[in-house]
Structure 1
Amino acid sequence: MYKVFVKNIPIILSTEKKVGDQYTSKKLKDVDFKKIVKKIYDGEILYLNLYHHNEENIEKFLREKLPVVEAAGGLVFNQKRKVLFIHRNSKWDLPKGKIEKGESIQEAAMREVEEETGVKDLVIRKFITKTYHVFKRNDKFKLKITYWYEMFSDYEGELIPQENEGIKKVKWKNFGKTQKALKKSYENIKLLFPKEYLTTHPYDRIP
């Protein structure tokens, strides 16, 4: 199953004809994807499942329907299990950016984290997933596919927001503050976190 976010609203792309009572299901091959994106962008559609019998063809379909921008980023932890966040466009986000010509996806992910936050000594622990979202640039829709890695750094130096990228703040956040930040973040960012970050911590329920 894929989730392609348009203004924080997911289009479900799956091999299942039915994914939930709220969702309208259509065959992937029968739809005009650009028209669907525009309708979601304009608030005319909220719940949509596009299905195809072959899961391997779903991403291929997406890449054919919209121009693709590929990016990479990191979910970064430090030795205190704090998570590295950036604040941009009034949202808490994770550092990421476009993959440059000639560099690997992992190289791009580490470079973007360092450029956007000032954090050094990054180590990639594992690949997490890819996320998909549609954005509008110069009146044209594009699909951003972002490759995400879990990273670690024991860096304790100054955090430096990359101002020319619109980043206002960079913060290490503990468990509780990460939960609060995710309430003011993007739905595709929430997909990267273990489930316990998206539920109430038991200590929060103690009077």
Structure 2
Amino acid sequence: MYKVFVNDKPIILTSSLQKEENFPVYIFKNASINEILYRLKSDDLQGIYLYSTNLLNDWEVFCKNFRVITAAGGLVLNTDKEILFIYRGNKWDLPKGRIEKGESIEETAVREVEEECGITNLVLDRFLLKTYHIFYMDNETRLKETYWYLMKSDYQGELVPQEEEGITEVVFKNEEEIQKAFLNTYANIQMVYKAYLTK
């Protein structure tokens, strides 16, 4: 199964006939991706299922509709098991950014967290999951594929938000504060957190 968010509304590409949500079902080979995107943006649809009989092949076909941007980021724990959050675009988010030429995905994840948060002493623990979302930039529809890693740090210094990236706050949050942040975050970020809890 692949879950791709459009403004926090999921397109769920699946080969399973089981439905967890009451979303309409489209047959992938008959579906118009542009029509689906239009409906998700303009209708009161909360999400859709795309039923596939060949998931890997259909995922490749799906991705060809977009310019794919690869990014990486981290869910960072401090010694108190608090999680590092950034505040950007009036939403709570986790640090992440695009891969640069010659970098590995892991190197990108660590660099982006360091740059966006002013943190050091990061230890890469394990891969959590990949998330996908569709966004619009320069009159082009793009698909962002983000690799997320669990990281740990004993950094005790001041956290410095990367203001040129639109980040206005960087803070470690405890469980209660995380739940409050989730009232104003993205669906993908909640998926990353769930992956951390279950892996």
- Give the TM-score of the pair, scaled to structure 2: 0.93
Q: Which residue of 1 aligns with 2:183?
A: 183
Go from structure 1 to structure 2 and tell me whether the alpha carbon gap of 1:183 and 1:44 turns closer, same or farther (over 3 Å shift).
closer
Q: Secondary structure at the match of 2:12?
A: strand
Alignment partner, residue 138 of structure 2: 138
Residue 139 of structure 1 and its aligned partner are, at CA, apart by 2.5
1:47 offset after TM fit, Å?
A: 2.9
Q: Percent identity?
A: 44
Report the alpha carbon displacement of residue 26 of structure 1 after superposing the two structures with TM. Answer: 1.2
Kept in 2, the 8 Å contact 1:3–1:131? The answer is: yes
Structure 2 counterpart of 1:63: 63
Equivalent positions of 1:34-73 (< 5 A) are 34-43=34-43, 45-73=45-73
Partner of 1:154: 154
Give 2:63's aligned amino acid: R
- Aligned partners of 2:76, 2:14: CA distance in 1, in Å? 30
| Deviation of the 1:58 alpha carbon | 4.0
Superimposed CA distance per residue, residues 13-62 of structure 1 (whole angstroms, 9 cap, x where no aligned partner): 11123414622111112111122112212235333100112232243123
1:23-102 paired onto structure 2 within 5 Å: 23-43=23-43, 45-102=45-102
Structure 1 residues 58 and 79 mapped into 2: Cα distance closer, same or farther (>3 Å)?
farther
Deviations 1:42-97 (A, max 9, x none): 23533310011223224312321111111000000011001000001110000000
The equivalent of 1:202 in structure 2 is: none
Residues 21/9 of structure 1: CA separation in 2 closer, same or farther (3 Å cut): closer
Gaps of 5+ in 2: none
Tell me how far apart the structure 2 counterparts of residues 90 and 75 of structure 1 sit (CA, whole Å): 19
Asked if residue 169 in structure 1 is aligned to residue 131 in structure 2, the reply is no
Change (3 A) 1:113 1:6: same
Amino acid at match of 1:154: D
Cross-structure match for 1:113 = 113
TM, length-normalised to structure 1: 0.89
